[in-house]
Amino acid sequence: MVQQQHSDRELVAHIAQGERWAFELLYERYAAQALGLAMRTMQDHAAAEDIVQEAFCRVWQRAARFDASTSGNVRAWLLTIVHRLAIDSQRKRKPDVEMDAHDDAEWDFEDREADVFEHAFANIATDRVRAAVSQLPERHRKVIELSFFWGLTHREIAEQLGEPLGTVHSWALQGMNRLKSLLRQQLS
């Protein structure tokens, strides 16, 4: 079967029925992106491969529960699983990592950022969060998407967008603050 003949949602529906060919096609379609995201987070190829394997196992196990009307697109769903598994794995590994004083400040900033992303995107598949993200100015939305969905660092985003690193930091902070405000308004 040709990969382009089936949409992602069709493949997940077939995976939910236990059809291995659909799982293999979905894997072929997204394994490289999933591994890239896991590698950026883990910085260890073997650990990243383990994350991707676990993520695809979860897709296989949870395909029947995937609801396209509330879960968004399949790629985002998969990459969210990869991202969460990688973050969880990093947290478990963190006590074993030795850092000097200079590295501490860098890790502290990233930890705060990761916590903000986790809270803001805890329910990424919901309409409320998608609606809030879509209301952000393009520069804020782009930085948040590149950071969360693609796992890029602010430095990588700055290079990709051709913007100064400080500007990207500001856009990320402004975007997350605006996103939190929008979500609070929706819950009020």
54-72 pLDDT tens trace: 999 999 999 988 876 666 6
Nearest Cα residue to 69 out of 30, 127, 21? 127
**Position 144 confidence tier, pLDDT thresholds 50, 70, 90:** confident
137 exposed, middle or buried (CB, 10 Å; 0-12, 13-18, 19+)? Answer: exposed
> Given CA atoms 124, 125, 129, 132 in this order, what sign does their dihedral have?
positive
111 in the same domain as 187: yes
**Position 91 confidence tier, pLDDT thresholds 50, 70, 90:** confident
147 in the same domain as 81: no
DSSP letter, residue 121? T
Q: For the ranges 51-65, 88-102, 133-147, 165-179, which has the lowest average pLDDT?
A: 88-102
What pLDDT does residue 96 have?
47
112 in the same domain as 185: yes
Q: Last residue of some domain: 45, 79, 97?
A: 97
Q: Last residue of some domain: 67, 97, 127?
A: 97
What pLDDT does residue 116 have?
46
* pTM for this model (two decimals): 0.51
Cα 59 from chain centre: 15
User: Hey, what are 31's tokens?
Assistant: 């394994």
pLDDT digits (tens, 9 = 90+) for 99-109: 444 444 443 44
Please say whether the beta carbons of 85 and 92 come within 8 A.
no
Range of 48's domain?
1-97
87 in the same domain as 141: no
Q: Last residue of some domain: 97, 119, 151?
A: 97
Biggest CA pair distance of the chain: 54
128 in the same domain as 83: no
105 in the same domain as 93: no
Q: What CATH number is associated with residue 180?
A: 1.10.10.10
What pLDDT does residue 167 have?
92
106 in the same domain as 67: no
The total of other beta-carbon atoms located within 10 Å of residue 164's CB is 10
Total domains, the chain? 2
121 in the same domain as 82: no
